[in-house]
């Protein structure tokens, strides 16, 4: 991937003040930084962002988790319990276009740096609050960790499998509520910035992990709300589409999706079972859903006769959506991922060459720029000298 240093990105000139830690907030500001915004990450001197300590794995003392979420940022140490730290933050907020925070509801207001306090000095400020459950409601102060949100949104049960009629809850392998909330927040920030071009005014926007997750399950949410049908433990199968799951082959499983009847007819041909196309038990998806157990047993009796690679070649020939089951490491070695240059190498002053996932957003004629994730407090002195009066800068350096 071309890393032309002259190309600063579509958000060049935008200043983002990042008062977030953990995952949802840093993922939001990561997206803005990758798009060219200048992101100043405010951290506490005692340990900084908690993800700096999440591991293993660590790479030469740096948390792999932290590295993944904090490139294209600068780190400044401020003690917000001290008057000098709050004064420095006010200077930064007055200069910022965007402030993103994920303190528990009410904390920013108690510190005197809530939106209502900052707005008069900087009416163009877009102030984004990310929380677990929202700024209002009986659970507003409940700690908003991804696992808890997945549990309360119904994901653990819907994602699990049923064993002897009892649901075995299963968490997603990555913090999906955090990532979705961060993505929704970045989208809301861009919308507020666009509106600001017309009104000249910023806004206070908020996103909760719980609502982000509920909004991201359209099939399950709609089934519960409109059809009064609650989710059941689905495990690796689809709740509505059959077949849309992993199939056993002679040596290894493959993933196969048959989302409509056109593909179903091709799938029957690929399996050498053309009579299934007109069988009333299987001819339409609703019938296949009603006869899922019998159908899947019949399908796997066929797929177990060949190896996975043979079936993938057959499915490709018949234009059946399918793919191998890969580990994450194997995915990065896949020819498609390599051809797309979906991994970039960034030079880190401590770690040397650092391989990272590229941002998936691409713009014609423009290359995303990448700067190493900052070491704790790496940019404190420079930032305070740039944005704060000399007396504030001097007190922070003591």
Q: Which two structure tokens, joined as six digits, stand for 324?
A: 């191998």
Q: What is the tens place of the pLDDT at every residue in 147-166?
A: 999 999 999 888 887 666 56
Same domain membership, residue 166 and residue 94: yes
Answer with the one of 314, 332, 350 that is the final residue of a domain. Answer: 332
Q: What is the tens place of the pLDDT at every residue in 49-61?
A: 999 999 999 999 9
- For the ranges 149-163, 196-210, 298-312, the lowest mean pLDDT is seen at 149-163
Same domain membership, residue 186 and residue 96: yes
Whichever domain contains 325, its CATH number is: 3.30.1540.10
The range of the structural domain enclosing residue 249 comes to 244-332
Same domain membership, residue 157 and residue 58: yes
Same domain membership, residue 62 and residue 164: yes
pLDDT at position 236 = 74
- Mean pLDDT in the chain? 92
Q: Do the domain assignments include residue 233?
A: no
Q: What pTM, to 2 d.p., does this model score? A: 0.91
Whichever domain contains 107, its CATH number is: 3.40.50.10540
Q: Do the domain assignments include residue 232?
A: no
> How are strands ordered across the β-sheet holding 126-131?
74-77, 38-43, 15-19, 98-101, 126-131, 203-208
Number of domains in the chain: 2
Same domain membership, residue 162 and residue 121: yes
pLDDT at position 390 = 57
Say if residue 302's pLDDT is above 60.
yes
Q: What is the mean pLDDT of residues 273-290?
A: 94
Phi, psi torsion values for 32, nearest 5 degrees: -70, -40
Q: Do the domain assignments include residue 342?
A: no
Query: Which of 264, 222, 221, 225 lies closest to 241 in space, CA to CA?
Result: 264
Say if residue 393's pLDDT is above 70.
no
Show which residues are catalytic.
178
Same domain membership, residue 172 and residue 263: no
Q: What is the tens place of the pLDDT at every residue in 244-276?
A: 999 999 999 999 999 999 999 999 999 999 999
Query: Which of 73, 78, 135, 69 lies closest to 102 in space, CA to CA?
Result: 135
Same domain membership, residue 293 and residue 162: no
Of the pLDDT bands very low, low, confident and very high (cuts 50, 70, 90), residue 220 is confident
Q: Is the CB of residue 80 less than 8 Å from the CB of residue 132?
A: no
Of the pLDDT bands very low, low, confident and very high (cuts 50, 70, 90), residue 168 is confident
Q: What is the tens place of the pLDDT at every residue in 373-392?
A: 999 999 999 999 999 875 45
């Amino acid at each position: 991937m071309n890393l032309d240093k002259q190309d600063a990105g579509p958000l060049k000139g935008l200043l983002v003040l990042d008062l977030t830690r953990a995952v949802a907030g840093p993922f939001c500001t990561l997206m803005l930084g990758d798009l060219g915004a200048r992101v100043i990450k405010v951290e506490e001197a005692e340990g900084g962002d908690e993800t700096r300590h999440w591991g293993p794995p660590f790479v030469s003392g740096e948390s792999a988790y932290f590295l993944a979420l904090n490139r294209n940022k600068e780190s400044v140490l401020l003690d917000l319990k001290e008057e000098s730290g709050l004064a420095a933050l006010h200077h930064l907020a007055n200069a910022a276009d965007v402030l993103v925070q994920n303190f528990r509801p009410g904390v920013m207001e108690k510190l005197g740096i809530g939106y209502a306090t900052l707005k008069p000095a900087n009416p163009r400020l877009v102030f984004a609050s990310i929380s677990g459950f929202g700024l209002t409601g009986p659970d507003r102060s409940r700690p908003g960790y991804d696992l808890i949100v997945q549990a309360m949104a119904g994901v653990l049960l819907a994602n699990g499998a049923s064993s002897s009629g009892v649901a075995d809850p299963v968490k997603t392998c990555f913090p999906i509520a955090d990532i979705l909330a961060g993505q929704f927040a970045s989208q809301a920030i861009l919308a507020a910035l666009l509106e600001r071009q017309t009104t000249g005014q910023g806004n206070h926007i908020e996103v909760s992990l719980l609502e982000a997750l509920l909004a991201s399950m359209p099939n399950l949410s709609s089934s519960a709300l409109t059809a009064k049908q609650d989710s059941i433990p689905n495990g690796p199968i689809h709740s509505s589409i059959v077949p849309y799951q992993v199939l056993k082959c002679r040596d290894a499983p493959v993933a196969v999706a048959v989302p409509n009847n056109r593909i179903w007819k091709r799938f029957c041909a690929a399996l050498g079972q053309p009579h299934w196309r007109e069988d009333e038990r299987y001819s339409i998806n609703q019938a296949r859903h009603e006869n899922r157990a019998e159908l899947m047993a019949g399908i796997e009796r066929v797929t177990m006769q060949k190896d996975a690679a043979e079936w993938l070649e057959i499915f490709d020939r018949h234009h059946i959506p399918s793919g191998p089951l890969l580990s994450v490491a194997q995915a990065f070695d896949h020819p498609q991922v390599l051809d797309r240059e979906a991994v970039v190498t960034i030079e880190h002053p401590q770690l040397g060459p650092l391989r990272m996932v590229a941002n998936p957003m691409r713009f014609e004629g423009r290359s995303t720029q990448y700067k190493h994730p900052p070491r704790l407090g790496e940019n404190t002195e420079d930032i305070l000298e740039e944005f704060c009066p000399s007396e504030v800068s001097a007190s922070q350096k003591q």
